[in-house]
Structure 1
């Protein structure tokens, strides 16, 4: 595993802007990427959970990949989600992402069918062989994948050079800390551990994670960059203050009426609404069948942006 594979810092999982007719809005996607780069991010991650990758057609996914790679133009690494139910289906996404020229691949365990850790290991080994020199990262998101990736399996795959790191969106802080300790004990110095939690970044960085993949980073990339910079500089009070501000900004996901929509519609709708109100994207619609936010809900997000200093 090379030093270049050791990803650190702030790598937001970009939403996929859509038109009112549910096509990929490439102009808005380009502005979103430029907004991220201006905020100082260390990479971008497309077609993940926030990117609604599993909702898009293969043709739409390819548009996202090609637009992102062309817009970023090598300024930061581009990671692509290759998330699907089975190894063969994921392998097809890997081929498409490699063809587009991405710098890293992010895969969950297979889902829908129940899998054993031995089968998950076979899954990642097959994908890594196909990826060759392109780093492959595991994505631990039990609520979506239906299984928790054991720390022992993750570190074993790291020791074998199968994966270059992990994005931990399990929400289990003790498991995340176990992973950090195991990495140190096994001397996996270049193995990347990123948290997917928007609201515990300062504490996670303090016990040794390498960075964050925050959905809220779509709306405030510069805020997460300031948080990361303060934390790695040992400026705990400044990091805590920035985290507290972002914690309050995360209240935007509570605005949508959850009695009429699911958690994904609420969170992604709020992120897109924030970007729409900031003038970054043209339309806040989420991928079908997600229920869109109402005009009233969108406007209710504005004061929360104002409170956070975003205009």
Structure 2
């Protein structure tokens, strides 16, 4: 019997109330709807979820709200985004103590040009301070946001130092050559693709699925690519549409559109909502694509 693949985890958007607080009820309802529509699990506090701007208390409340509504055994991963070692440790321990299946761990950002020894030492200290709780780490390669690349060699070095701890890599570089290097060097763990346009090719090469923002709006298109090797024609067209806009506001607008909730698209500064014209154009184009899906 072969082990099941990672599958599809929605990088959940974070809805806010009119006063700017995390809307926990709306978040939990949204997560449940995505499971019903084909997701295998959910990921909180990732890039699409604005995890870079959420407090530790908000993170704890979000996990509790979502976990209470999920069927037993549903994998919930949590994004870890903090350049300070102690903050990354605190986020990680809070998630693991709450029952997270694993951590989607971004590298330290702000300092650019950090060498591999510096990155190894940062991750090593984070892992040591988490201690015996540590499990299920998915290394998060998203240099377009962090400006810090994770090389296959760095991940190999960390895997050797921490056997069994790193269970996956999420590649959100959008670069096929990079995805191929991760698949070639670490095909024995879960290589996940963040750029949905690369997903059909990656699945054919041994990838195990995706943690992605588009799962907030089209899990029905993503799940067949992962589990049935669908070619993903409409998925690619939809992704191209979304990334032609500021991505997080666009995904939140479309998630609210599908939920018939025009308050879903609020974002926290420094992000801004789409303009009325951008919203109208995006919704019109989205409805046209989905009508032909």
Q: TM-score, normalised by structure 2?
A: 0.88
**1:163 aligned onto 2:183:** no
The 3 A distance-change label for structure 1 pair 246 and 271 is: same
Shift, 1:180, TM fit: 1.2
**Counterpart of 1:293?**
274
Given candidates 231, 240, 244, the residue that maps to 2:233 is: 244
Distance in 2, Cα, partners of 1:7 & 1:119: 32
Shift, 1:73, TM fit: 4.1
The 3 A distance-change label for structure 1 pair 19 and 252 is: farther
Equivalent runs, 1:219-258 vs 2, <5 Å: 219-231=217-229, 239-240=230-231, 243-253=232-242, 256=245
Distance in 2, Cα, partners of 1:148 & 1:62: 28
Equivalent runs, 1:172-191 vs 2, <5 Å: 172-184=175-187, 189=188, 191=189
**Counterpart of 2:146?**
145
Q: Is the 8 A contact 2:142 2:149 kept in 1?
A: yes
Q: TM-score, normalised by structure 1?
A: 0.84
**Counterpart of 2:211?**
213
Shift, 1:208, TM fit: 1.6
**Counterpart of 1:235?**
none
Could you list the runs of 5+ residues in structure 1 that have no partner in the other structure? 232-238, 257-265
The 3 A distance-change label for structure 1 pair 273 and 127 is: same
Equivalent runs, 1:1-311 vs 2, <5 Å: 8-114=6-112, 115-129=114-128, 130=130, 132-159=133-160, 160-161=162-163, 162-184=165-187, 189=188, 191-231=189-229, 239-240=230-231, 243-253=232-242, 256=245, 266-279=246-259, 281=261, 282-309=263-290
**CA distances 1:229-276 after superposition (whole Å, capped 9, x unpaired):** 221xxxxxxx22xx22012222443665xxxxxxxxx11111111111
The 3 A distance-change label for structure 1 pair 254 and 11 is: closer
Could you list the runs of 5+ residues in structure 2 that have no partner in the other structure? none
Give the number of equivalent residue pairs.
Answer: 285
Distance in 1, Cα, partners of 2:183 & 2:10: 21
**CA distances 1:79-134 after superposition (whole Å, capped 9, x unpaired):** 00111112221011112212322111111111212432122222223333416353
The 3 A distance-change label for structure 1 pair 254 and 97 is: closer
Superposed CA RMSD: 2.3
Question: Which is further off, 272-281 or 216-225?
Answer: 272-281
The structure 1 segments of at least 4 consecutive aligned residues displaced by more than 4 Å after TM superposition are: none
The 3 A distance-change label for structure 1 pair 60 and 133 is: closer
